[in-house]
A = this chain, B = another copy of it.
Amino acid sequence: MAQNYSFKYFTVQFPAENPYVAHVEINRADKMNAFFEAMWLEMRQVFTQLSEDSSVRAIVLSGAGEKAFTAGLDVKAASQGGPLSSDSNLDPARKAVHLRRHVLEFQDCISAVERCEKPVIAAMHGFSLGLAIDLSTAADVRLCSKDVRFAVKEVDIGLAADIGTLSRLPKVVGNFGWVKEVALSARIFGAEEALRVGFVNSVYENRAATIAAALKLATLIASKSPVAVQGTKEILNWSRDHSVQDGLRYTGVWNSAALQTGDVSAALLSGLQKRTPTFEKL
């Protein structure tokens, strides 16, 4: 039953004091957790596995080291290999095919966080640039420390952010003018501003406190019925991309199975008996 979570660029831990919670950490502190291709491919594996691991009910994602959640794309690594560095003599149309495949694969790795059936809480600190924004908008809840330095950094290297920020950020915060400003100017913004516009839910003193708060929230969520929690994540994500009518219809179909769970009576009975309910794994 216990799954194998031995990865190279990510640590996955199950803190004893947080039952059903997995703590995933980006583990390349010496390079400010900057990403290169092997890392995002591995990250997809991590979240795909957690998604179906019935002993996991909520996930915290953080970055190792004091300096950065992640400084974003490892530009040096990216320029030394891969399609961006291509010196091949393909014509631009053929190069475009390779670039598109590359971008779609990269996007898919980030989307694994959103596809993960369990809620994911991003606990961010220090440099949280570029890919950090893409990645965290695919998570469900974002917390950060006071020292965080966010930026939608891509225009500074000649790119329109291409792995999720431009599609997800405007649906995460409800201030389209602000999104445009930070995406068009690449300027740094801090914890207070992030809180004000709704990019993060809360701000904490430092990295440790942020992770502690994320684990606490994850533990609270993990104490609820997993049928209810996972259904809630799924229906919210579906509804974001559909009309209210389509959202309601999908909810009705989804719940026609979900309401047949034993968790409802478990929850109601516990309520009457003033004790904590226990739910089967999922």
Q: How distant is the Cα of A251 from the Cα of B119 in the complex, in angstroms?
A: 24
Contact of A239 among B94, B156, B166, B229 (CB under 8 A): B166
Give Cα A186 to B232, complex, Å. 11
Contacts of A240 in B (CB 8 A): 170, 176, 244
Q: Quick one: given A159-B259, A161-B232, A259-B84, are A253 and B252 in contact (CB under 8 Å)?
A: no
Task: Among B114, B242, B267, point to the contact of A158 (Cβ < 8 A).
Answer: B267
A265 to chain B, nearest CB (A): 8
Report A89 CB to chain B, min CB distance, Å: 10
Q: Is the CB of A224 within 8 A of B268?
A: no
Which of B186, B199, B258, B268 meets A160, CB within 8 Å?
B258
A41 within 8 A of B: no
Please measure, in the bound complex, the distance between the C-alpha atom of A233 and the C-alpha atom of B79, giving whole angstroms. Answer: 25
Q: List 13 A-B contacts (CB under 8 A).
A: A83-B259, A96-B258, A96-B260, A104-B248, A154-B232, A158-B268, A160-B231, A160-B258, A166-B247, A166-B251, A167-B247, A180-B233, A253-B257
| A234-B5 Cα distance, complex, nearest whole Å | 38
A188 at the interface (CB under 8 A from B): no
* Residues on B with beta carbons closer than 8 Å to the beta carbon of A209: none
- Evaluate whether A93 and B245 lie within 8 angstroms (CB atoms) in the complex, with A176-B172, A266-B158 already known: no
User: Does A228 contact B160, Cβ atoms closer than 8 Å?
Assistant: yes
- Tell me which of B141, B178, B186, B245 contacts A180 (CB under 8 A): B141
Q: A248 to B126, alpha carbons, bound, how many Å?
A: 27
Q: A53: CB under 8 A from chain B?
A: no
Q: A95 on the interface (CB 8 Å rule)?
A: yes
